[in-house]
Chain A
Amino acid sequence: AQTVTQSQPEMSVQEAETVTLSCTYDTSESDYYLFWYKQPPSRQMILVIRQEAYKQQNATENRFSVNFQKAAKSFSLKISDSQLGDAAMYFCAYRSRGGSNYKLTFGKGTLLTVNP
């Protein structure tokens, strides 16, 4: 079974600064997807960014980028120019690519605080 580990229960960053959230995972599969989801206080879980394991290029979405290290099974999220609206719980998630297993396996989350 796959596992996802987020080793930082809480992080804080100053507005306009850069912060990196860590995620490692364990799998025996070679093809899969990785995600970062954001859950603000309103509770609606929103997809931030996704990475396909067969793609070597790191995904980027505006101020959000990932550092995907497949051999190390590491998938960190970098938030640049942090904004107050980035304050939320962030979850790293894994999904198999093949077969009919569509479930997402989540880490325990990292609570990000943005200080003005």
Chain B
Amino acid sequence: DVKVTQSSRYLVKRTGEKVFLECVQDMDHENMFWYRQDPGLGLRLIYFSYDVKMKEKGDIPEGYSVSREKKERFSLILESASTNQTSMYLCASSWGFGYTEAFFGQGTRLTVV
């Protein structure tokens, strides 16, 4: 089975802290994604990566950055956490061209106080 693992299920951070959310997949997927999920807004794409060291902005990249140094790992970075970044964060991965399905992690509930 494909496994996408997010390092934490719950995180509480203080305003202004630098926050790292980690995601690891074990299926050699080319593509990895970070989504943010908020009630009434669905899932919104923050960033995605289609190869090591390659990244593209999604729909709401402001306040976030990403890192993909190894194929299996995709990190989301909140440079200076703010309360409006309190949310559920979902990581996903998929194979490249010709494949369709994305596989999701369990999600990280981040609270910024």
**A residues with CB within 8 A of B:** 6, 9, 33, 35, 37, 42-47, 50, 52, 91, 95, 100, 102-109
Contacts and interface: CB of A to CB of B under 8 A. Distances in A.
Contacts of B58: 103
B43 A102 contact: no
B48 interface: yes
Contact of A50 (B41, B50, B101, B107): B101
Contacts of A107: 42
Interface of B: 31, 33, 35, 40-45, 48, 50, 58, 88, 90, 92, 94, 96-97, 100-102, 104-107
Per CB-CB distance, the 8 closest pairs between chain A and chain B, nearest first, are A45-B104, A108-B42, A106-B43, A43-B107, A106-B42, A102-B31, A33-B100, A109-B42
A102 B90 contact: no
A83 B100 CA distance: 27
Contacts of A46: 104
A109 B40 CA distance: 8
Contacts of B96: 102
A33 to B, nearest CB: 5
B50 A102 contact: yes
Which of B43, B45, B94 has the largest number of chain A CB atoms within 10 A?
Answer: B43
B84 to A, nearest CB: 19
B43 A103 contact: no
A6 B94 CA distance: 24
